[in-house]
């Protein structure tokens, strides 16, 4: 079930990046995708509307669990960065002709993008961009190539350091954040610094291993459910045989065992029904657990497939939990 929900990049459609409540596109403002602890995501604006009607917390429209809010929705529930990345991709894919150059004073239509600066440019500005010393080694590609590149390449584009305008390719273990080479000498001196790629791959391998274990473990509840169903069938057969035996005994000594027959039948029926009810309750709990597991597995798979390195590292502890 979860396998069919994870789609290739080029097959991503609008419904994957719209809020289930208002059916509007997610964005990076008031409709930014916010993920609840149950791994269901809705836009920030809809969650605020739900919270206004229930001050005790936000009740998830899908699983009905209630989650308390601390001061604000955006401050309580983190942004779903997987959906945020998909929104960025679909916005660019569907509105290629509306993307404007970041450099032109006349705001010409953009045809290129610098993968290092992560800025859109027209062809002329892209040519000048390559001539500047600070950006002469930057990689620029056409927007058409960008939209059609493999999802591994698209979502693994590294962010730029807002302070130093350099690629975030290192990871500070002390501060648990991605940094650039200049950050190391400015605000992270004497901290343990790791290569961002190494940290990403280690977290990716760890989450993949856990995900594989979870999927494998799904076979055990299915076998247990089957065994419980077989036991219920056996109990039904047992009930039928016992009732027949009681009737036969009653016929042989109708006067003497009249009350005894009644009591025995009630005891048997009550006992069997209770046992069946207990097993049915266990099967219900297993089914609920599997539904929740599917949501968690889907979220993990989407993170594995679509999250950027830095985002994935940030999400890794939650995914592991």
How many Cβ atoms sit within 10 Å of the Cβ of residue 309? 23
pLDDT tens sequence across 155-183: 666 677 778 767 778 889 989 888 888 89
For the cut 60, the answer to whether the pLDDT of residue 197 exceeds it is yes
pLDDT of residue 124: 82
Closest CA to 295 of 214, 226, 235, 200: 214
pLDDT tens sequence across 224-274: 888 899 999 999 999 999 999 988 887 888 877 677 778 888 999 999 999
The residues, any chain, with a CB within 8 Å of residue 119's CB and separated by 6 or more, are: 102, 103, 113
Phi, psi dihedrals of residue 80, rounded to the nearest 5° = -80, 100
Which of 107-111, 149-153, 297-301 is the most confident on average?
297-301
pLDDT tens sequence across 278-287: 999 999 998 8
Cα distance between residue 99 and residue 91, in whole Å: 9
pLDDT of residue 113: 83
For the cut 60, the answer to whether the pLDDT of residue 212 exceeds it is yes
pLDDT of residue 267: 92
Cα distance between residue 113 and residue 103, in whole Å: 11
Indicate the helix (H) or strand (E) that contains 25.
none
pLDDT of residue 280: 93
Tokens at 118, concatenated: 């992560």
Specify the pTM: 0.47
Q: Mean of the per-residue pLDDT values for the chain?
A: 82
Any long-range contacts for 245-249 (C-beta under 8 Å, 24+ apart)?
A: none
pLDDT tens sequence across 50-94: 998 887 889 999 998 999 998 889 889 998 888 887 877 777 777
Cα distance between residue 171 and residue 180, in whole Å: 8
For the cut 70, the answer to whether the pLDDT of residue 217 exceeds it is yes
């Amino acid at each position: 079930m979860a396998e069919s929900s994870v789609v290739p990049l080029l097959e991503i459609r609008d419904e994957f990046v719209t809020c289930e409540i208002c059916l509007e596109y997610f964005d990076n403002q008031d409709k930014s995708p916010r993920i609840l602890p149950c791994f269901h995501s809705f836009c920030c604006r809809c969650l605020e509307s739900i919270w206004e009607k229930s001050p005790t917390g936000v009740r998830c429209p899908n699983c009905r669990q209630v989650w308390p809010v601390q001061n604000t929705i955006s401050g309580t529930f983190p942004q779903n960065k997987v959906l945020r990345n998909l929104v960025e991709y679909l916005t660019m894919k569907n509105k290629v002709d509306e993307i404007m150059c970041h450099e032109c004073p006349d705001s010409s239509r953009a045809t290129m993008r610098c993968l290092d600066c992560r800025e859109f440019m027209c062809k002329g500005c892209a040519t000048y961009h390559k001539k500047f010393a600070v950006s002469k080694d930057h990689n620029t590609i056409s927007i058409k190539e960008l939209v059609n590149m493999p999802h591994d390449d698209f979502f693994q584009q590294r962010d730029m350091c807002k302070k130093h305008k350099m690629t975030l390719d290192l990871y500070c273990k002390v501060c648990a954040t991605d940094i650039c080479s200049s950050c190391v000498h400015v605000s992270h001196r004497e901290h343990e610094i790791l290569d961002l790629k190494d940290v990403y791959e280690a977290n990716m391998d760890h989450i993949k291993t856990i995900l594989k274990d979870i999927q494998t473990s799904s076979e055990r509840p299915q076998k247990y459910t089957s065994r419980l169903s077989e036991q219920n069938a056996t109990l039904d057969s047992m009930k039928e045989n016992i009732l027949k035996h009681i009737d036969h005994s009653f016929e042989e000594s109708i006067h003497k065992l009249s009350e005894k027959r009644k009591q025995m039948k009630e005891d048997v029926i009550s006992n069997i029904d209770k046992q069946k009810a207990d097993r049915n309750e266990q099967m219900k709990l297993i089914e609920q657990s599997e539904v929740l597991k599917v949501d968690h597995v889907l979220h993990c798979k989407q993170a594995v497939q679509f999250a950027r390195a830095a985002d994935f590292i940030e999400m890794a502890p939650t995914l592991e939990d």
